[in-house]
Every structure is written in C-alpha cells, then in structure tokens.
C-alpha cells in the first residue's frame, strides 16, 4: 500500500518519467476505446481517440507545468482543461450524421470522444485511479452494452418507421388509418423519393400500448397494398 502511495505521488510529480507514463496511459485509453469504434466501423477510430486523449493529457501537463514553473502567473492556468471539455464538442459534432431516412448516426461516437477527452485530462493530471476506472467503465459500455441497447430498441413500444408509398394518396390513407384507430404518431415527414419514378417516402414516429401490439401492427403493414417497402428506422 505504501508503494502504491509513493507511485501516485511520483506520477503526479512533474518529472520526465511521470510525463512519459501519463502520455502512454492516455494513448492506451484512446486505443482501447477507439478499437471498439473501429470494430463497429464508426467514424472516429483508434487514431482519432488516441490523439484526442493524448492532447487532453498534454493540456493538463502543460497546465501543471505553468503552475510549477511560473507560480507568480496571474489567472487560472487550469482553465485549459475546461477549454478541452467544451471544445471537444466541435469534433464530436462532426461525427453526427442525419441520414436521408431521418436516422441519426454517430451520437455514441461523439459521446465516446468527449469521454475520451475527459479521461485524457485525468491521465494528464496523474489521477491514475480515476483514469483506469473510467477507461474500463467506458470500454465496458461501448463493448458490452450494444446488444442490450438493440434489444431495448426492438422491444420498445415507441418506434420510428421509414415507409415507401405507392403514391401520395396511399400516404394520406395511411395517416387516416392511424387517426381512425387512435394510434399515437408524430413527426410524419413526407417527401419525394430520391429514385426517379418511385412513389413518395416518409418517416414517422409511432407509439403503441405494448410490444405485442407493435409486433401485430408491423405484421399488418406487410399486407398493406399502398406500401412498397418499410423498415424500422
């Protein structure tokens, strides 16, 4: 226990050895989290996460250096870390994409980048326990909760539909049918198909009373003659 305390004191010191260990730890965090994103073919992979985490770590090391090297400096040098937390949002936004089917992609990757930056700050500050704990927790979330997330999505009573109609009149009939059956729906967006000669397409959010009602309703849609194709968005 005493050795661990001595190690923590050493790692938080501004020595060349501690700087190397902190930067290597930050790179490890980025590689571990980025490998999961790359394995799932997401936008930001190993290099992006590693660079973000390394940059965050260096921000904290630089802040500590300023504090030790220039103790008379006016102002809060640790605001550099706060700037990282807010500034990383611009990079995260670049990974979020709204598809032509009104489906959002990249939210998890953006959140992963932001979390990676925060863990990098911890690594740069020499907070080993926090870095390791957050790294393992973030990796567990990204690597193991995907199946749970998908399962919850499949069994949710509320869901989004992408629908390709035969013509506009069938789209109107579809909404009339929803109203007549008292089915809750929102965000019905009808637009022309990107494929020439095809009927209009739409996205809509629907909420039913139970998962069983959802399964029954989706089966009914397969027999609806006015729909060429539909899928859960």
Each residue's pLDDT tens digit, 63-80: 777 777 777 766 676 677
Q: What is the mean pLDDT of residues 91-102?
A: 65
Task: Provide the residue ranges of all domains of the chain, joining segments of one domain with +.
Answer: 2-144, 157-232
Q: What is the mean pLDDT of residues 39-55?
A: 73
pLDDT at residue number 215 = 87
pLDDT at residue number 118 = 85
pLDDT digits (tens, 9 = 90+) for 160-204: 889 999 999 999 999 999 999 999 998 898 988 777 667 899 988
* The pLDDT of residue 125 is above 90: no
* The pLDDT of residue 205 is above 80: yes
**Which of the four pLDDT bands, split at 50, 70 and 90, describes residue 87?**
confident
Cα end-to-end distance, the chain, whole Å:
53
pLDDT at residue number 197 = 64
Residues 48, 52, 55, 61, CA torsion sign: negative
* The pLDDT of residue 230 is above 80: yes
Tokens of 5: 């305390």
pLDDT at residue number 158 = 82
**Topology of domain 157-232, CATH:** Alpha-Beta Plaits (3.30.70)
Q: What is the mean pLDDT of residues 82-97?
A: 73
pLDDT at residue number 176 = 93
Pick from 43, 53, 151, 50: which is nearest to 95 by CA? 43
Alpha helices in the chain, H assignment, sequence order: 2-11, 16-39, 46-69, 79-93, 107-124, 128-144, 146-154, 168-180, 211-222
Count of C-beta atoms within a 10 Å radius of residue 89: 13
Tokens of 192: 């022309």
* The pLDDT of residue 143 is above 70: yes
pLDDT at residue number 165 = 93
**pTM metric for this prediction:** 0.62
Percent of the chain with pLDDT over 70: 85
């Amino acid at each position: 226990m005493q050795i661990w305390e001595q190690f923590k004191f050493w790692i938080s010191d501004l020595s060349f050895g501690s700087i190397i260990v902190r930067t290597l730890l930050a790179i490890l965090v980025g590689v571990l989290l980025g490998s999961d994103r790359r394995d799932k073919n997401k936008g930001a992979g190993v290099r992006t996460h590693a660079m973000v985490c390394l940059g965050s770590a260096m921000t904290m090391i630089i802040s500590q250096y300023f504090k030790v090297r220039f103790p008379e400096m006016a102002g809060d040098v640790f605001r550099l870390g706060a700037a990282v937390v807010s500034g990383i949002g611009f990079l995260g936004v670049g990974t979020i994409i709204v598809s032509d089917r009104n489906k959002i992609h990249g939210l998890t990757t953006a959140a992963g980048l932001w979390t990676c930056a925060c863990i990098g700050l911890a690594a740069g500050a020499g907070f080993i326990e926090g870095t390791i704990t957050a790294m393992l927790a973030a990796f567990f979330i990204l690597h193991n909760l995907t199946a749970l997330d998908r399962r919850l999505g499949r069994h949710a009573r509320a869901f989004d539909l992408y629908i390709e109609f035969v013509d506009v009149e069938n789209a109107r009939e579809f909404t009339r049918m929803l109203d007549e059956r008292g089915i809750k729906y929102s965000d019905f967006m009808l637009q022309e198909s990107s494929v020439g000669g095809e009927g209009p397409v739409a996205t809509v959010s629907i909420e039913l009373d139970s998962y069983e009602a959802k399964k029954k309703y989706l089966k009914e849609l397969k027999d609806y003659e006015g729909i060429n194709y539909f899928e859960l968005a």
